[in-house]
Amino acid sequence: MSELKPIKEGKVREVYDNGDSIIMVATDRISAFDVILKNKIVNKGAILTQMSRFWFDYTKDILPNHMISVDVKDMPEFFQKDEYKGNAMMCKKLTMLPIECIVRGYITGTGWQSYQKDGTVCGISLPAGLKESDKLPEPIYTPTTKADLGDHDEHITFADTVKILEKEFPGRGEELAAALRDNTLALYKKCADYALTCGIIIADTKFEFGLDENGQLILGDEMLTPDSSRFWPAKGYEPGKSQPSFDKQFVRDWLKANPDSDYLLPEDVIAKTIEKYEEAYQLLTKKPFVKG
C-alpha cells in the first residue's frame, strides 16, 4: 500500500489526488479567527463529512454537487482504515471559483458590528432599528475573496465578483457572478427553512462552487456544517443579544474571553464543543451520529 500525501492542506481539510477524482478528508482540527487551534476535537471531522453528505443529498434538486461517495470501500486502500472511516469523501474534480459565497439571514458577528457603525453590512444598507441577532427582512449575499492559509478573507461587492470571475473566465464574469449569488440564496433559503423545523436557526453560512469539465456550475467543498455556519437553537431565540450556539462560536467566545490562551482549549470546552456538534447533527438528520 503506497503512502499518499495531500496535494492541498487547509485549516481543517486535506485533499488527495485520486486520478479522475479527489478525496477530501475532514480532520479533527478546529480553527478560529483564521488560526488552527492546538487541540483536536475527536469525531469532529466525521460529523462535518456526514453533515455535508446529508445537505448535498437534500439540495441536489437545486444544483449538482461534487460528492461521489463517503464509503472508504470505494477509495484506494490507503483510506480503508479507521482514521479515515466516516471523515473522507470522494469528490469530482472541479475548477474552484475564487469566491467565498456568504449569505446572512440574521444580523450577528462582524455584520452586527458594521451595522452599529453605519447601518450597513458589507456595503448593503439595512433598515434602521435592527437589534443584535434580528432576522433580516431577506437574506443578503455578502461574498468575500478566498484568502491563503494565514491570511484574512476580504469582503467584496457583487461588481467585484464580476471583475474577478471575468478575469479568470473571459466572457462569463457576469453570468457566473449572478449564478453564485442566486444559487447561494436558493440553497440557504431551502436549508434554513428545513433546519427551522428541526429546531435550528441557520444565522449565516458560506458556500463554495466550481466548474466541471463541461463548464457547468457545481457545489463543492463542505456544506452547512458547524465550521462553515452559525447554528442557533430556535428554542429560546431572543433578539437583542448574542445567541447560544451549536457551532464553533462557543470556541470563539471562549478565546475572546481568554486572550492569553495561546489557542489552547481546556478539556471542558473541547467536550462541550463536540457535544454541540453531535447535537446539531442529530437534530438535522434525525438520527444519532455514527462515525463509520
Residue 233 domain flag: yes
Kindly give the interhelix angle for 44-59 and 173-197, rounded to the nearest 10 degrees. 110
Residue 292 domain flag: no
The pLDDT score that the predictor gives to residue 252 is 85
Q: How confident is the model at residue 34 (pLDDT cuts 50, 70, 90)?
A: confident
Mean of the pLDDT values across residues 59-71? Answer: 97
Mean of the pLDDT values across residues 263-292? Answer: 90
The pLDDT score that the predictor gives to residue 127 is 96
Kindly state the percentage of the chain with pLDDT values over 90.
79
The pLDDT score that the predictor gives to residue 153 is 75
Q: How many CB atoms lie within 10 A of CB 262?
A: 8
Quickly tell me which residue has 434602521 as its cell: 128
The pLDDT score that the predictor gives to residue 284 is 96
pLDDT in tens, 193-246: 999 999 999 999 999 999 999 999 999 999 999 888 999 999 999 999 999 888
Quickly tell me which residue has 423545523 as its cell: 197
Residue 119 domain flag: yes
The rounded distance, in Å, linking the Cα atoms of 111 and 241 is 14
Q: Which residues of 276-289 are buried (b: 16+ CB within 10 A; e: fewer)?
A: bbbbbbebbbeeeb
The pLDDT score that the predictor gives to residue 102 is 97
CATH number, domain containing residue 189: 3.30.470.20
Mean of the pLDDT values across residues 244-266? Answer: 88
pLDDT in tens, 107-163: 999 999 999 999 999 999 999 999 999 999 999 999 999 866 555 678 899 999 999
Residue 66 has pLDDT above 90, yes or no: yes
Quickly tell me which residue has 433598515 as its cell: 127
The pLDDT score that the predictor gives to residue 148 is 62
Residue 208 domain flag: yes
Contact 37, 31 (CB under 8 A): yes
Mean of the pLDDT values across residues 52-57? Answer: 97
The pLDDT score that the predictor gives to residue 11 is 84
Residue 63 belongs to what domain range? 1-285
The sign of the CA dihedral 232, 98, 41, 47 is: positive
Kindly state the percentage of the chain with pLDDT values over 70.
97
The pLDDT score that the predictor gives to residue 290 is 85
Cell of 210: 466550481
Residue 213, φ and ψ in degrees, nearest 5: -65, -15
Q: What DSSP element (H or E) covers 21?
A: strand 21-26
Residue 2 has pLDDT above 70, yes or no: no
Residue 227 domain flag: yes
Residue 291 domain flag: no
CA end-to-end span of the chain, whole Å? 22
Residue 257 domain flag: yes
The pLDDT score that the predictor gives to residue 32 is 85
Domain count, the chain: 1
The pLDDT score that the predictor gives to residue 107 is 98
Residue 290 domain flag: no
The pLDDT score that the predictor gives to residue 95 is 96
Quickly tell me which residue has 455535508 as its cell: 52
Q: To the nearest whole number, what is the mean pLDDT of the chain?
A: 93
